[in-house]
Amino acid sequence: MSMRVCDTIDHDEIRRWIQLHRGAPARVPDTGAVCSAEVLLVDFLGARSGHYFEHISWAEWFAWFDDHRLCFRCPADPENLSFHLVPRGATPSTGTVHAVNLGP
C-alpha cells in the first residue's frame, strides 16, 4: 500500500504546515561543509539554536528553498510529521530526500 503525498512550492502553505506541527525554520550552521540541498531543516522541538542547527527567518529559509529549486513533500495525512525537500519535478518514487526532521 502506498502513502499519498502532497507536493507544494507555495510558501504560505508550507509555512502553515510547519507551524501547525509546531516547527520553526532552521539550517545547518556551517553551510560550507555540506552540499546545498542538505542545509535546510525544520526544528519541531522548539529548541534553541545549537551545535547541529540554528534558527533562521522564514525569508532566509524560503530564499534557500527557491534558489535551490526545492519542493516540499508531506503526507496527505495531517497527523504524520514526516516531510521531505525534494528537487522540483521529482516523483514520489524517485525523489531524493534532502531534509532532516529534528523532532519526535
Spatial distance between the Cα atoms of 1 and 55, rounded to a whole number of angstroms: 36
Chain-centre distance of CA 66, in angstroms? 12
Task: Kindly list the domain boundaries of the chain, sorted by start residue.
Answer: 5-102
This prediction's pTM: 0.74
Residue 102's CB is within 10 A of a number of other CB atoms, namely 17
| Residue-level pLDDT at 72 | 94
Q: Which amino acid would we find at residue 10? A: D
What would the grid cell of residue 10 be? Answer: 507555495
24-80 tens-digit pLDDT: 998 887 656 555 556 788 888 754 555 578 889 999 999 999 999 999 998 888 778
Chain-centre distance of CA 5, in angstroms? 14
| Residue-level pLDDT at 75 | 85
Higher pLDDT, 90 or 60: 60
Helix H or strand E segment including 19:
helix 11-20
7-17 tens-digit pLDDT: 999 999 999 99
| Residue-level pLDDT at 19 | 92
Chain-centre distance of CA 23, in angstroms? 10
